[in-house]
Amino acid sequence: MTAETAVHPLRHSVFRAVLLTRMFSALTGGFYNVPIMWWVLERTGSGALIASVGLVSALAGLIAAPIGGVVADRGRKRLLIQATYIVDALLLLTMALLVLTGHMQIAFVFPLLAVTSFVAALRGPASAVLVPLILPRAVYQQGNALMSLTGSLASLGGYALAGTATGFVGVHGAMLIGATLLLGAIVTLMFVPEPSITPAASSAPEAAAPSGPGFFEGLKVVIANPLVLCTFGVTILLNLVLIPLEVTLAPFARSLGAGAREFGWLSASISVGQVIGMIVLSSYQIPRPWLALVSGTFGIAVSIAALSVTSSLGQALGLLAVAGFSAAVMNVQLSVVSQLHIPPAVMGRAYGVMASLSSAIQPIGYAGAALLLSWLPLHTIFAIIGGLLFLAASAWLHPTLRLGFSKPMAAAATD
């Protein structure tokens, strides 16, 4: 299963099954959020309450991510993923039954979605480890790109389908459809053998058996590898800088004389660019990952900075699509870096810590966005974001990163 034969990932039957599981899982996301959020809005009419529900879910995920890393390293990864899908399906069935019988209460929503987010975060590290354990090193990039592409397309489609289903068959009907999709993921995983860590992959000292609290063990793994540490540090900085962009698009659409429909287009254009980027990366192997990271980061910086002088909707859509494309190029390479430089035996904990810290930075970013929107005009905010991204992009020029990427990143492809 880990042979170095560098055939395209889609020719690996196990990877195809994992990809199908990813599709079912991503489709289900919309069938969680759309029906329950709509139900809350119908019952209370409060947008603030919906935001509170989202906050509770985020906090549950933040707590669970490092725990999921420990469980992924110590136990059977496929079984863990399958168990979390079963819990998710049971939660959806429970909510559907409560809604159908009229026993659903607002107070129930918080713990139910908190458990759902907790379970999803437990699953995250184990899911992330699957790609490097079932594919040869030479095709990590294509494998990551295909996983991201499948997840993005299924997530976009899932939300649209969930909204349509909620309108036609009601909240409980949409939840039942979501539970059925999860059943598809559970069944598909039965065709995925439990991945094993080869002795060669686990011979490094860092790959020793887990000991101690998961968060700190995972943090040690990240800190022990200078390339991974520096790369992750730059990623955190990029996320912090880019978070304000999300909340500026609605007022930006208004400043262009557009409405809610055009605001949706602006948001979707980033996803369109990402999808195009992942399609390219799923079929083309980038020979120099460091150059891809530098180009991707500078591409985002130029695109966002250019929004400060943009006066038409068409230009804004194009610039945001370029930013999405650049982000896809950068994110896939970041995944490859982690998978190639973190020992498989401790990869779950490392992923759990990185996911947890990435989530923890979001409230700071949103607070900063609120301050910027209250003090500065939009064109100035875009210029500031672009300038900060230029500074972040310059971090890739640091010798530790440049020299680290100068080493071969994957085994040579063979026929």
Region of poorest pLDDT, from 251-255, 288-292, 323-327, 363-367:
363-367
The dihedral through the CA atoms of 206, 210, 215, 217 has a sign that is negative
Locus of tokens 């301050």: 371
Give the per-residue pLDDT at 116: 82
Q: In angstroms, how far is CA 383 from the centroid of its own chain?
A: 26
- Helix, strand, or coil (residue 203): coil
Give the per-residue pLDDT at 203: 38
Give 241-285 pLDDT, tens digit per residue: 667 676 677 678 778 887 756 766 777 788 788 888 888 887 777
For residue 165, give the amino acid letter: A
Does residue 125 have a pLDDT over 90? no
**Which ranges in 190-259 belong to alpha helices (H)?**
214-224, 226-255
Considering only residues 123 and 195, tell me which one the structure prediction assigns the higher pLDDT.
123
Give the per-residue pLDDT at 264: 63
Give the per-residue pLDDT at 15: 85
Give the per-residue pLDDT at 2: 40
The set of residues, in sequence order, having a beta carbon less than 8 Å from that of 95 and lying 6+ positions away, is: 36, 104, 108, 112, 172, 175
Question: Tokens in use for 232?
Answer: 């992750």
As to burial, measured by CB atoms within 10 angstroms (0-12 exposed, 13-18 middle, 19+ buried), residue 42 is: exposed
Give 176-187 pLDDT, tens digit per residue: 999 999 999 999
Give the per-residue pLDDT at 405: 65
Give the per-residue pLDDT at 407: 53
How many angstroms separate the CA atoms of 184 and 178, rounded?
Answer: 10
Residues 15, 135: contact at Cβ < 8 Å? yes
Give 352-396 pLDDT, tens digit per residue: 777 777 767 766 776 677 677 778 888 888 898 888 888 877 877
Locus of tokens 């929503």: 109
Give 134-170 pLDDT, tens digit per residue: 888 778 778 878 888 888 788 777 777 887 888 888 8
Give the per-residue pLDDT at 212: 47
Calculate what percentage of the chain has a pLDDT beyond 90.
Answer: 9
- The answer, as to whether pTM is greater than 0.85, is no
Report how far apart, in Å, the C-alpha atoms of 410 and of each of 40, 270, 282, 339 are: 49, 29, 15, 10
**Region 390-415 average pLDDT:** 61
**Region 18-43 average pLDDT:** 82
The set of residues, in sequence order, having a beta carbon less than 8 Å from that of 69 and lying 6+ positions away, is: 125, 214, 218, 348, 349, 350, 351, 352, 353, 355
Listed residue (122, 124, 105, 117) closest to 57, CA to CA:
117
Residues 21, 192: contact at Cβ < 8 Å? yes
**Number of Cβ within a 10 Å radius of residue 314:** 9
